[in-house]
Structure 1
Amino acid sequence: MGLLAWVLIGVLVAVMMRLLWPARSGMFAIAVVTTTAGALIGGYICAVFNIGTLATLDARALFAAVIGALLFLFLFRKLRVN
């Protein structure tokens, strides 16, 4: 369940960012992939350091997954070359 929850968090963050910060048409798919990767890494870091997992719906792991997703999306948008 934890892996599925991390993926869902990544997709939800991408949808929220799409609503708050509209982008070009092709960017939504990239945002979904980027935020999902960030959520997976954030959740994995919590699991490695035994902070909590999303399988038990721990708030710290949920927060880390959201922060990871937002950080990856922010870094991707800043480092993207036009």
Structure 2
Amino acid sequence: MMGLLSWIIFGLIAGALAKWIMPGKNNSGLVITTILGVVGAVVGGWISTFFGMGKVDGFNIGSFVVAIIGALVVLFIYQKIKANS
């Protein structure tokens, strides 16, 4: 099981990469980016487990891919909610 600090670092990296990949203006700061990445890792892990492809289980390439895909989904939803408010 990953420790809290590992989840924060993992989330920061995944969130930053998702913001870099996703087109459009992303003016969120470091804290929102980290939260986006951590939530994205959870969402990505849930989606990949649901489809039988694995889960986020540590610092490895597969977990990063799953976390980034989840962060992209969360970022897309976040941008839609932010645009409507």
Q: Is the 8 A contact 2:15 2:68 kept in 1?
A: no
C-alpha distance after superposition, 1:6-41 (max 9, x if no partner): 5433211333427x8551xxx212232123101122
Q: Is the 8 A contact 2:15 2:40 kept in 1?
A: no
1:57 aligned partner: 60
Q: Give me the TM-score of the superposition, normalised by structure 2.
A: 0.56
Unaligned 5+ residue runs, structure 2?
none
Match of 1:66 among 52, 65, 68: 68
Q: Give me the TM-score of the superposition, normalised by structure 1.
A: 0.58
More helix per residue: 1 or 2? 1
Q: Is the 8 A contact 2:44 2:67 kept in 1?
A: yes
State the aligned residue count. Answer: 77
- 2-structure distance, mates of 1:49, 1:57: 19
Q: Percent identity?
A: 26
In the TM superposition, 1:36-47 aligns within 5 A as 36-47=38-49
User: Using a 3 Å threshold, how does the CA distance of structure 1 residues 37 and 45 change in structure 2: closer, same or farther?
Assistant: same
1:30 aligned partner: 32
In the TM superposition, 1:1-16 aligns within 5 A as 1-2=1-2, 7-16=8-17
CA RMSD of the aligned region, Å? 3.4
User: Using a 3 Å threshold, how does the CA distance of structure 1 residues 64 and 6 change in structure 2: closer, same or farther?
Assistant: farther
